[in-house]
Amino acid sequence: MNKRKMEFYVGLFVIIGLLCAGYLFVVLGEINFIKDKRYPVHAFFTSVSGLKTGASVEMAGVEIGTVSNVSIDKERLLAKVEFSIDKNIKLSDDIIASVKTSGIIGQKYIDILPGGSDIMLEPGEEIELTESSLDLESLVRKFIFNKDEK
């Protein structure tokens, strides 16, 4: 093989490798080039211990979005959780958002219980009804110390 053909094949191989690597970055990194696929909503919780950014938001066991931000609201002194919900899913204003754990010691996620209202949440609106996560450590502590008092 002459040198020119070999350089062509090496260059072609490098280009194909770069395209494959770029594709993997987009797919595995879940990079969205079109941001209009989701809309934001938020909710306030008294406790979201263990909930992380990127956790799933599920309804009836099906993922409908992700947690985009977890922060503390300085005015209310509550945990503010922001969600990105698929545009195809319309949430009514009387839904209940709960922090749940998958399995016994699994990851935390947000579970949405559907409501019956005809009024739908608009992008950026607040989910009013929330249930915070169950704190197992405090339950064990109460069980242990209450048992000693008896």
Q: Which residue has the tokens 């064990």?
A: 140
17 within 8 A of 10, measured Cβ to Cβ: no
Q: How many H helices and E strands in the chain?
A: 2, 8
Q: What pTM was estimated for this model as a whole? A: 0.68
Alpha carbons 112 and 99: distance in angstroms, whole number: 9
Please tell me whether residue 81 adopts helix, strand or coil conformation: strand
pLDDT tens across the length of the chain (150 residues): 688 889 999 999 999 999 999 888 877 776 666 556 888 999 999 888 888 888 899 998 899 999 999 999 889 899 999 999 998 888 888 899 998 888 777 788 899 998 888 888 888 888 888 888 776 677 777 778 776 555
Alpha carbons 148 and 120: distance in angstroms, whole number: 50
Q: Which two structure tokens, joined as six digits, stand for 137?
A: 């450590």
Alpha carbons 102 and 70: distance in angstroms, whole number: 19
Contacts of 98 (CB under 8 A, 6+ apart): 110, 111, 112, 113, 130, 131
